[in-house]
Amino acid sequence: MKTRTLLQIQASIFSDGGESSRLASRFVSRWKADQPGAEVIVRDLGREPVPHLTAERFQSFLAKPDERTPAQRGVSDYSDNLIAELERADVIVLGLPMYNFGVPSTLKAYFDHIARAGRTFKYTEKGPVGLLTGKKAFVFATRGGLYAGTPLDTQTSYVRDFLRFLGISDVEFVYAEGLALGDAPKSAALAKAANDAHALASRPAPEIAIAA
């Protein structure tokens, strides 16, 4: 049996201390306990933020490989390393806090560096086609207010659409909301989300098996 690989992406500015990171780590710990020999890769955008995309960095992706300057090769290699982590992963776990009604800017920067034509998606006559197929993603979203299912939830559709664009269409969300509404609502929301995370990670392997 192939050894499975999980990529944990932490988008919190508080790194391991963020509530979204803690929820994601609960899931990862439980998942790994049932996956002997599994590999876990952690991409911590709080500790190691991805540079925001600039015209110069974007030009590095557009330039032909044999025509790139040393600086452009450095940018391209950096992006390639991020993509290689995704390519290796069978399961992707994203800790996703909400900042000012959106995703953290470091996560957007990360997305900008992994959305590469010819690497993670391709253009066809029928439109773009994602190349990172056969993967499962779990998103642990934490919010101070109550947004799920309302027009103010800008994260869910954006993240789901972006991952689908790359070929990752099997995505599940766990929400912990109302974390700024007082101690009791916060505790209840985190407890429910932790139980949901445990239940997802405890599913029999076929339920989260990766398509061949």
Considering the four listed CATH numbers 3.40.50.300, 3.40.50.360, 3.10.129.10, 1.10.286.10, the one that applies to the domain covering 5-208 is 3.40.50.360
- Given this model, what pLDDT does residue 203 score? 77
Contact 15, 43 (CB under 8 A): no
If one compares 74 and 209, the residue with the highest pLDDT of the two is 74
- Given this model, what pLDDT does residue 205 score? 55
Each residue's pLDDT tens digit, 101-119: 999 999 999 999 999 999 9
Domain ranges of the chain: 5-208
128 burial type by CB count under 10 A (0-12 exposed, 13-18 middle, 19+ buried): middle
Closest CA to 24 of 91, 75, 93, 115: 93
